[in-house]
Amino acid sequence: MKNTGILRASLYQSHPVEVIMKRLHVVIPVLCLVAVFSSHVLTQPAFRTMYVAERSGLNLREKSDAAAKRLLSVPYGTKLQVSNTGVFGEAEGIKDTWYKTSYNGKEGYLLGVYLSSMPTPQASCGSYYCYFGWLTGTKDEGKMRNILEQKYGISYNEGGKTCVSGYITGFGSLPLKDAFLLTRLLYGKEFPALNQKFSSIAKIDSDGSVSISMTKKIPGGFKEIAIYKRGNSISFEELDNADPCGP
């Protein structure tokens, strides 16, 4: 019996490589599967939520090219999950990337110039006050300000100067393009010039500052709206002088 024990021990000790390889044959495939799965997860494109901000709808293209085949039109206000392709396009003097998405069973590409990261306003809204009330679900200005600040990083302040009333909206990290799209959608009927190309109505200074300012006469005074980009700060102002100051 002692000899048998020694023989068994000798057999095991004389083939350590074989035993190790058998174990590795099991471990290596598992590691390969983990590596393939991890690689698949890491290379998945990052999706984000965006909304179609073109009243007439936006063409879904077969490729990330404005000349590519049109697959269908995605209606205004549609909420989409999109991934950035890194391929740039341009419209109205605005550069933005093409986004890959799917809609009604079709997979294709949309130009980001006409996509907004903010929900698009209802047709009945013609001011930021109306839009913010709809967006936050309240007309209480205190609650509205809190929700805008906490959820969207937007500041809203109503105030006025002597003989002038109005409000200022700070867009926080919202891109200039998004602020322009929202302003066009809200004020485009009242200020038709907003429907012109961005590049034709925006004033760009040498320091990179951008401004779009429009004024119209109203009974008893004037109304002015303006978008400003100064550094990383983007804001909107609306002023209403319905009762001009006397001498």
What are the pLDDT digits (tens) for 63-96? 999 999 999 999 999 999 999 999 999 999 999 9
Tell me, what amino acid is at 247?
A: P
Q: For residues 207 and 203, what is the distance between their CA atoms, to the nearest angstrom? A: 12
To the nearest whole percent, how much of the chain has pLDDT over 70? 77
The more confidently predicted of residues 168 and 235 is 235
Report which of 113, 117, 92, 122 is spatially closest to residue 196, judged by C-alpha positions. 92
Write down the pTM of the prediction.
0.77
Residue 135 has pLDDT above 90, yes or no: yes
pLDDT of residue 137: 96
- Burial readout 80-108 (b: 16 or more C-beta within 10 A, e: otherwise): bebeebeeebeeeebebbbbbbebeeeeb
Give me the residues paired with residue 52 across strands. Answer: 115
Are 216 and 190 within 8 A, CB to CB?
Answer: yes
Residues 115, 78: Cα–Cα separation, whole Å: 10
Sheet with 94-103, edge to edge strand ranges = 70-74, 58-61, 106-111, 94-103, 79-91, 47-52, 115-116
Task: Assess whether pLDDT exceeds 60 at residue 131.
Answer: yes
pLDDT at residue 6, rounded to an integer: 39
- Reported as a single tens digit per residue, the pLDDT across 166-218 is 778 899 888 999 999 999 999 999 999 999 999 999 999 999 999 999 999 98
